[in-house]
Amino acid sequence: MKIYMLERTQLVKKPLEEVFAFFERPENLSKITPSSLGFEILTPEPIAMQTGAIIDYTVKPLGTRLHWRTLITNYEPPYKFVDVQLKGPYKFWHHTHTFEQTVEGTLITDRVRYILPFGFLGRLAHGLLVKRQLEYIFDYRRRIIEKYFSEDGRKG
C-alpha cells in the first residue's frame, strides 16, 4: 500500500489571526477550489469549526459527482487544524493545515498524506492523473490565496 504525500508552503504578508480566520471557515473552500471540480458544501452554514466537526460536500473531478465527508480531528486555533476523510474517493486522506507567524507574515503549510484505492490500478491512476490533479488544485489555491491576501485582493 503506497502512501503519497503532497506538501506546500506559502507565505502571506498578513497577521496569523487574519489568515487563520479565513481558513477556519469551510465556506471559503469554494473560493480556493477550481470551479472545474464542481465543489459544493452540503453541510448547512454556518459551519462551526471545532474538533469533531463533520463536513459533507461533493466534488466532480472527472465528470462524476462524488460525496466527500471529512472529520476535523484536531483544531488548535490559530495554529493548526487537521481534516481526515470519512467517505470519499481516497482510501485514506489526512490533511494537516499549519499556520506560523513569521517576521514577514504568516507561513501556511499544507501537508496531505493519502492512499488511493484499487491497488495497482490506483498507483497507475496516481501517475497518470491524480498527482497532476492535486498539484493543479494546490497551485490554483496558491494563486487565489496570494490574490485574496494582497493589498487590493478583497476589493470589489
Quick check: is 104 in a domain? Answer: yes
Quick check: is 130 in a domain? Answer: yes
Quick check: is 153 in a domain? Answer: no
Task: Give me the percent of the chain exceeding a pLDDT of 90.
Answer: 80
Domain count, the chain: 1
pLDDT band for 155, please (50, 70, 90 cuts).
very low
CA neighbor of 51 nearest in space, from 21, 24, 81: 81
Q: Report yes or no: 26 and 43 within 8 Å, Cβ to Cβ.
A: yes
Quick check: is 16 in a domain? Answer: yes
Q: Which domain holds residue 122?
A: 4-148
Q: Report yes or no: 107 and 100 within 8 Å, Cβ to Cβ.
A: yes
Quick check: is 156 in a domain? Answer: no
Tell me the per-residue pLDDT of 86-130, one tens digit each, with 9 for 90 and over: 999 899 999 999 999 999 999 999 999 999 998 888 788 788 788
Whether residue 64 is predicted with pLDDT greater than 90 in this model: the reply is no
Q: Give the CATH number, domain containing residue 15.
A: 3.30.530.20
User: Alpha-carbon distance 99 to 19, whole Å?
Assistant: 8
Quick check: is 132 in a domain? Answer: yes
pTM above 0.85, yes or no: yes
pLDDT at 70: 98
Q: Could you tell me the sign of the dihedral formed by the alpha carbons of 56, 134, 138, 52, in that order?
A: positive
pLDDT band for 80, please (50, 70, 90 cuts).
very high
CA neighbor of 23 nearest in space, from 58, 62, 61, 72: 72
User: Alpha-carbon distance 27 to 44, whole Å?
Assistant: 10
Give me the numbers of helices (H) and strands (E) for the chain, helices first please.
3, 7
Tell me the per-residue pLDDT of 21-52, one tens digit each, with 9 for 90 and over: 999 999 999 999 999 999 999 999 999 999 99
